[in-house]
Amino acid sequence: MATNLEILQEQEQVLIAVRETAGEIPGIARYWQNLEEAYARAQISVSRRDELAAVAQESTRQMNADLAAGQDALRALRQYLRAELGVHAPELLRYGVKPARQRKRA
């Protein structure tokens, strides 16, 4: 199966040949015009897809950075809660922190 680039290249090659010989083949204008229009639309679509892919890539990079910053902030908050409430405090559960178990002394 041909890639999109190969399809566009094939269309372009045929368009070049038709432009050079259009006067030699009667009735070709209608088919030539259809191919010209489709080829132009395809080029626009490919450009748009490439632009959107770049935007998606940048959005993903930004999202990952934001999520990492949130995880850092979450870790800092939980460390603060452990220090403020104590590592054994049952209230830590409310914040998603598992309290440390108390050791049993023998």
Q: Where are the domains of the chain?
A: 4-95
Please give the average per-residue pLDDT across 62-89, as a whole number.
97
Instruction: Identify the helix (H) or strand (E) that includes residue 48.
Output: helix 29-85
Q: What confidence tier does 104 reach under pLDDT thresholds 50, 70, 90?
A: confident
Q: What confidence tier does 90 reach under pLDDT thresholds 50, 70, 90?
A: very high
Q: Could you give the percent of the chain with pLDDT greater than 70?
A: 99
Residue whose C-alpha is closest to residue 15's, from 30, 34, 35, 29:
35
CA dist 7 and 61 (Å) reads 32
Residue 106: the pLDDT is 67
CA dist 46 and 63 (Å) reads 25
Please give the average per-residue pLDDT across 29-51, as a whole number.
95
Longest dimension (CA), the chain: 104
